[in-house]
Amino acid sequence: MLSVEDVHAGYGAIIALRGVSLHVNTGELVALVGANGAGKSTLMATIAGVLRPFRGQITFEGRSLLGLSPEEIVRQGIALVPEGRRIFPSLTVAENLRLGAATRRDPAGVQRDIEEMCTRFPILGKRFHQPGGTLSGGEQQQLAIARALMSRPRLLMMDEPSLGLSPILVDEVFAMITQLHASGVTVLLVEQNVERTLDIADRVYLLNTGRVECEGTPEQLRQQVDIVGAYLGDTQERS
Amino acid sequence: MNVLQEVLQFIINALSLGGLYALMALGLVIVYGILRLVNFAYGELVMVAGYTLLMLGAGPIPWLIVAVISVGMAVLTSLLLERVAFRPVRQASATTMLITSFAVSALLQNAAILFVSPRAKAVVTPSFFTENFQVGNLLISKGNLASLVVSLLLLGLLTLFLRRTLLGIALRAAADDFVMTRLVGIRANQVIATAFAISGFLAGVVALFWIGRLGSVGPFVGSTPVLVAFVAAVVGGMESLTGAVIGGYLLGTLTVGLQLVLPQSLLDYRQAFVFAIVLLVLLFRPQGLVRGRAVTERV
Amino acid sequence: MQRMSYLESFGKWSTGLLLAGPLIVLALVVHLFGGEVLQRILTVLFINLSMVLGLQIFMGNSGVVSFAPIGFMGIGAYASALFSMSPQAKAMALRNLYSWLVPIQVPFVVAVIIGGLMAALVAALVGYPLMRLSGAAAVIATFALLIIVHTVLINWSEVTNGPRTLFGLEAYTTLWVSAATGILFLLLALWFKETPLGLQLRASREDEAAAASVGINIVWVRWVAFVLAAFVTGVAGALWAHFITSFSPLAFYLPQTFLIISMAIIGGSASVSGAVVGAVAVTAIFEGVRGVENAINISAVFPFTVSGLTEVCLSIAMILILIMRPSGILGSRELRL
Ligand SMILES: Nc1ncnc2c1ncn2[C@@H]1O[C@H](COP(=O)(O)OP(=O)(O)OP(=O)(O)O)[C@@H](O)[C@H]1O
Ligand SMILES: [Mg+2]
């Protein structure tokens, strides 16, 4: 479904990705792990069209994404839950959700999905007419996920969705990712919560300083636990 | 005249001038919020509408239609400037954009000097603007009343647009986080063009009343509106649309008030006073009296 | 190591030679062979150069746009006039002047320096709190400052003759006076860039947060540059006043601001070389197109007078530069051997 080949990207003189290749098959849940600064968020931003790669190829369902603007890439069916949530603080929860569905043309369906989000994340229903900026960090994270789901993406990219959530909410987020995945959504997940990510992922890529260090099923990665440990250190224990 | 009448008169004058100022400030801030562009050329949109009034006003076309065309010209000019001058420098620094708008402003003013005349020319305005009507003992200028009503009406319509339509919500979202707005699928160019169109529209409407008051139009007719917009926007908070409106009404009230209170000898320094206030606000409350994103700090 | 630094410092000084040399030669040639018109144009060029260098010292090094310079130019012009004019001339031109100011008259050079100092003093007093601002806030604040100065100049008729024209100044500013001042400021701007303070200021331009984190007092270094720039601009204003010999407060407002900023932008304000190139290029365009404009008007090809053509050309040039080379023709590079 998604294939990334030999992508080099960065910020001005800073090169953050040095030839990354990976692919995500339809229906898969692929996890991307790696230490801080490995380039995970950069890769997400590059796929989403915020950054232009210097070199390499990105295709989605057979079509190249290179040169497309972020707004066009969303229309291909890719949604991003960005690092740091980035909900619209001065917009109400309702408006945040409605913007999530900006690319859709079925008002009735959008309305139904908004209601569904409010049952799935009850807090959003309660805060429905409150500005997003007044939500707590965890509530904002839920809003960010719900907003991404509103576009009914075929590929959902999530950058550290459990960051800053309380343990119960982390459980919920992981349960939700599993459930989404089960319902057929393809997921590309960046997580620091490596143990739990390995539990739910179909395949895993380990990124290190802009390169793919190793890839495989969670089992294969666990067997190379020394490598994982070396790169991820204590983050393994963090859950 | 008794006190009540004077108070009423004051309120009407303040609300009418304040309404115009609020529209001016909004037109500036709506673009600033999204692009961080302080648009010096905003005043020249007023000028373009004014010259359209001048050219068509003397002809056989009814004034109302001329007015609509004038506002349309301001909108078109605003869109054209965005496309030709501002879009190419959008990726550059805020300073580059600002200086570009300064150059565009100089270009339009001097084009008017070159192609029309360096001097202001009298514009045919409907007698409406200079007529008064009487309620009891109160003498009310029809032009003032019209600008009061029209500005309130436009503020209401704009609020509806910004709260109820997807494009309006996207406009506010873009002021919060432009990249994220694109990441949910809103087209960048569409949002920006909408902001410029609204800015031009507001400038055009302001021009109708402003030039109606002045009775003439010249190359520098936009200077005062753009200065007023700066002041109101800074005082209210550059980041907040509500702030711009409040700033506009505050400034209008202040202007009408100073006119009444200040002795003639100090009246000439009024502009200096007003801009001293701007400096003070910038220094002590750089975010303006109304904070734009009071709540973003949580992130 | 030693040789390196010799070469290095020669490289830096070669900029001064490269910039000042041709200007001096030009002044010489025009002085010897040029007619009066050319001499006047060149005098204006060197005054413009001083103005742009003032802008370069502050804006170029700090990256903060300032709209205030023309205000300081006005202060320099009026302050120097008050001290250079004879009591008789003052009695004619400045009827409302404070009586204690009437008898004071000092030599031209002293009056020019007083003009510069007055501008610097005003800048020093109002500038410090403003130096915290950058970006759009700084622009609007300095813009407000310009308007305040302008309003005061127009209304303070005890000192400026109000909005009316002040006349009766002696034409002390010859080509050589203005050329010598321009070259002096050129060297001053080059020197200032390389002083520790100038380096700190440039560091703050690149990255405000990083500069602050290594202990640079941004407000202080900006303030010093602001005051120095105001002095340079004030002197330029004083020279201009004694070149043009009669003027009104209207001369110190947005059109002149536009002219000076266009020079800085077209040449590239981050370097002294850029400022020089900008001043030369814009003065050339300005005088060239104005020549055409005058020729058209004199020959009466059109039944009306043509004006504004110069500014139209200049603003188009400026917009094109901003789109294609936002850092100006030279950017931040200095010319070097
Ligand atoms: N906006 C930026 N400008 C310059 N460099 C950046 C920027 N964003 C990231 N980088 C650099 O790019 C590299 C990769 O950063 P990236 O954010 O992709 O890492 P990450 O794997 O997402 O890390 P984390 O786990 O901390 O989120 C880092 O060295 C970082 O310093
Ligand atoms: Mg990251």
Average pLDDT, chain C: 89
Q: Which of A42, A47, A189, A212 to mutate to test the pocket of ligand 1 (most atoms within 8 A of CB)?
A: A42
Token readout for A19 is 């030839």
Integer angstrom CA distances of residue B26 from A28, C100, C140: 49, 49, 17
> Rounded distance, CA C207 to CA C193, Å?
17
pLDDT greater than 90 at residue C43:
yes
Average pLDDT for C289-312: 83
Token readout for C211 is 């500069």
Picking from B298, B239, B175, the residue whose alpha carbon sits closest to that of residue A85 is B298
Task: Evaluate whether chains A and B are touching (3 or more beta carbon pairs less than 8 Å apart).
Answer: yes
Closest approach atom of ligand 1 to CA A45: 18
Ligand 1 first shell, C-beta below 6 A: A 11, 14, 16, 34, 36-42, 83
For A11, the enclosing helix (H) or strand (E) is: strand A2-11
Closest approach atom of ligand 1 to CA A160: 27
Angle at B203 between CA B120 and CA C64, to 5 degrees: 90
Q: Are B143 and A42 in contact (CB under 8 A)?
A: no
CB atoms C308 and B118 under 8 Å: yes
Which residues 89-108 of B are in CB contact (within 8 Å) with C?
89, 92-96, 98-100, 102-104, 106-107
pLDDT at B294: 38
pLDDT tens string, chain B, 299 residues long: the values are: 578 888 888 898 899 999 999 999 999 999 998 998 999 999 999 999 999 999 998 888 999 999 999 999 999 999 999 999 999 998 888 888 999 999 999 999 999 999 998 899 999 888 888 788 887 777 888 888 899 999 999 999 999 999 999 999 999 999 999 999 999 999 999 999 999 999 999 999 999 999 988 889 999 999 888 988 888 888 888 888 898 999 999 989 988 888 888 777 777 787 788 888 888 888 888 777 765 443 333 22
User: How remote is the C-alpha of C146 from its chain's centroid?
Assistant: 14
ipTM: 0.90
Integer angstrom CA distances of residue B108 from B111, C179, C313: 5, 34, 11
Counting as contact any 3 or more CB pairs under 8 A, the partners of A are: B
pTM of the entire structure? Answer: 0.89
Looking at 2.120.10.30, 3.40.50.300, 2.30.130.60, 3.40.190.10, the CATH number of the domain A26-52+69-231 comes to: 3.40.50.300
To 10 degrees, the CA torsion angle through B65, B70, B72, B76? Answer: 150
Integer angstrom CA distances of residue C46 from B177, B281, C49: 47, 38, 5
- Nearest residue on chain A to B189, judged by CA atoms? A71
Token readout for A208 is 């290190």
> Which residue has the CA at smallest separation from atom 9 of ligand 1?
A42
Closest approach atom of ligand 1 to CA A43: 18
What's chain A's Rg over C-alpha atoms? Answer: 17
pLDDT at B299: 26
Q: Which of A8, A17, A36 to mutate to test the pocket of ligand 1 (most atoms within 8 A of CB)?
A: A36
Q: Which residues of chain A have pLDDT under 50?
A: 234-239
B292 contacts on A by Cβ (under 8 Å): 90
pLDDT digits (tens, 9 = 90+) for C224-243: 999 999 999 999 999 999 99
Smallest CA–CA distance, residue C322 to chain B, in Å, is: 7
Integer angstrom CA distances of residue B154 from A81, B53, B98, B162: 37, 21, 27, 12
pLDDT digits (tens, 9 = 90+) for A176-208: 899 889 988 999 999 988 888 988 999 999 999
Task: Evaluate whether chains A and C are touching (3 or more beta carbon pairs less than 8 Å apart).
Answer: no
* Domain ranges (residues) in chain B: 3-12+20-221
Place of tokens 């997940």: A189
**Which class for A168: exposed (0-12), middle (13-18), buried (19 or more C-beta within 10 A)?**
exposed
pLDDT greater than 80 at residue C20:
yes
Q: Which of A7, A14, A22 to mutate to test the pocket of ligand 1 (most atoms within 8 A of CB)?
A: A14
pLDDT at C7: 61
pLDDT digits (tens, 9 = 90+) for B98-144: 999 999 999 999 999 999 988 999 998 888 887 888 877 778 888 88
Taking the Cβ of residue A69 and every Cβ of chain B, the question of whether any pair is shorter than 8 Å is answered with yes
CB atoms A89 and B172 under 8 Å: no
For A16, the enclosing helix (H) or strand (E) is: strand A14-24
Picking from B67, B16, B25, B51, the residue whose alpha carbon sits closest to that of residue B231 is B25
Q: What percent of chain C has pLDDT over 90?
A: 53
> Which residue has the CA at smallest separation from atom 12 of ligand 1?
A16
Smallest CA–CA distance, residue B284 to chain A, in Å, is: 24
Strands A29-34 and A186-190: parallel
Counting as contact any 3 or more CB pairs under 8 A, the partners of B are: A, C
